[in-house]
A and B are shown apart, each in its own frame.
Chain A
Amino acid sequence: MKEAPASCRVLVPSGVLGSGCPDEALARGVSLAPDCIAVDGGSTDSGPYYLGTGTSKMTRQATKHDLRQLMLARDRLGVPLLVGSCGTSGTDAGVDWMADIAREIAREEGLRARLALVYSEIGPGALLPYIQTGRTAPLDPALPLTAEQVEECEHIVGLLGYEPLAEAIADGAEIVLSGRTTDTAVLSAVPLMRGFPAGASWHAAKTAECGGLCTVETRRGGVFFTIDADGFEIEPLDGANRCTPYTVSAHLLYENADPFRLKEPGIILDAADARYEALDARRVRVTGSRAEVVPYTIKLEGAGGHGYRTMVFSAIADPKLLARFDEWLCNLDAWLRAGIARVFGLGEADYGLDFRAYGMNALNPVPPAVPPHEVGLMTLVWAPTQELATEIAKYCNPMLLHFPLNPDDPLPSFAFPFSPAEVELGRQYEFKLNHVVTVDRPDAFARTVFETIGEGARD
């Protein structure tokens, strides 16, 4: 009987597919004989637009470059390749987009592989029974989920845990492209399906989820981690880069509200008592991570459209005006609102007019001690249609160009950098959901489809 391996080794090329891993770093990772290659393909980090539209933030070209590199490495190694949250938001369209790129690469490189597509988009109809039976719950600071909120979403995805990915691999998948999946589930799927400890597997995956961010020189490619019965070890792919107990433990802080307890589907990772020990100058060993089993919940993400925006950017450097900027802007705002009400017949709730004074206080509410050298004024108009937003912005245009500080001033002119001055920003999207659903089984919202790509290529 074959003895079970004592460790499970995971190569993580980067924090997100399409951000690149230097060839030498990847080659070094491949030389360490990983049991799988796993990488995240998305995030909500760049805002609701990508989920709202089901489009990718990363360019197709960069994504294809990275996926080619990984598909070639996978083929040489004969181990599974997992890509989670395909197409940034992990919608069905995102998975199909990634699958299309994978098929193209398989054809171009003559690579044959068994591909599993694990979809995780949820139709509004599928959520309603969960709302009706009280199996959804809000996360802080949200209110309980309503059917109306669900209807407002263009796309809803459920963050999958590792189980549907592991099942696809158990069923013969060599490449798994999944819809929205927790970053950590993508990286921990193979160790967990092979029976390695949950605490170490989830903690290692959490540490490696942003690729090289847990290393000293964060732009030199990803990391490689090894899980065993008592903990995990982690090192950078790049031979000259280093992981230290400090960089590894500090990574748990990153983009994470609570650094001690991390919620994942079906478990809570408790890293409060984890011990970090340098094995040498560039490798760290971590022990003492625990995983508590909790009821299995799937986190929801949903985004929907809410009107359209048009922007005007203008700039002012006149010191006389900048010395009394707040007063000038307040007068301008009142003048424009009165005009919009008169000319368009719109009430305050029918449109939005918002000013951001970059260089003054657009980001930092603490007022500057002395007037700034110059200010870039972003005027944002919101309306139910793009046409109306632009009409209102055009109406504002002459005053944004000429509005005087004092009523009897000779006509001033400010700086418009473009003609036309109005820039249409398209539809505005918002995140609508901050909730979890309690499910009976981890694959309640997963749909897996298999195919063979590169058919006709060598076996």
Chain B
Amino acid sequence: MTKLGDAAKYIRSKSAGPFWVTIDIFCEDAASFDRIAGSPALAPRAVARLFGVSENMIRQYRLPSIHVFKISFPRPHVQGSPGDADSHAGQYFVPLLSVDLD
């Protein structure tokens, strides 16, 4: 059992405008990238469930040249709306750290 938080080099999240959040998973090397970017635990359905958003709004981008797996989706709470507790979405990545890759 490997947690994403241990397998990835660095993970960050940030608002991409007030309505979207984007999460960048930086991997150490090509092998680690392949494992993370190909893990069913990070498939759109799993990510949608983790963040409580609809599966068809999950966007995923793979950048093998810099070993980055990127995930974007609409913020469950629009920035600054009554339920929003993280204006810059800077801590949105945290639930991903404990995802089991296999």
Contacts and interface: CB of A to CB of B under 8 A. Distances in A.
B30 interface: no
A409 to B, nearest CB: 30
A257 B80 contact: no
Contacts of B20: 257
B49 to A, nearest CB: 12
Contacts of B85: 356, 362-363
Contacts, number: 89
B61 A430 contact: no
Instruction: Give the size category of B's interface with A.
Output: 20 to 34
Given A141-B57, A257-B16, A47 B83 contact: no
A59 interface: no
Given A249-B65, A356-B85, A258 B95 contact: no
Interface in B1-42: 14-20, 22, 24, 26
Contacts of A254: 14, 24
Given A45-B15, A254-B14, A255-B14, A140 B22 contact: no
B79 A48 contact: yes
Nearest to A52: B80
A139 B68 CA distance: 26
B66 A246 contact: yes
B59 A258 contact: yes
Contact of B19 (A49, A352, A431): A431
A434 B18 contact: yes
Contacts of A306: 82
Given A141-B19, A253-B24, A255-B22, A260 B61 contact: yes
Given A249-B66, A364-B94, 4 more contacts: A253-B70, A356-B85, A364-B91, A428-B82
Interface of A: 44-49, 139-142, 246, 249-250, 253-260, 303, 306, 352, 354, 356, 362-366, 382, 428-431, 434
Q: Sort A-B residue pairs by CB-CB distance and give the 6 closest, nearest first.
A: A257-B72, A48-B80, A257-B16, A47-B80, A431-B18, A141-B74
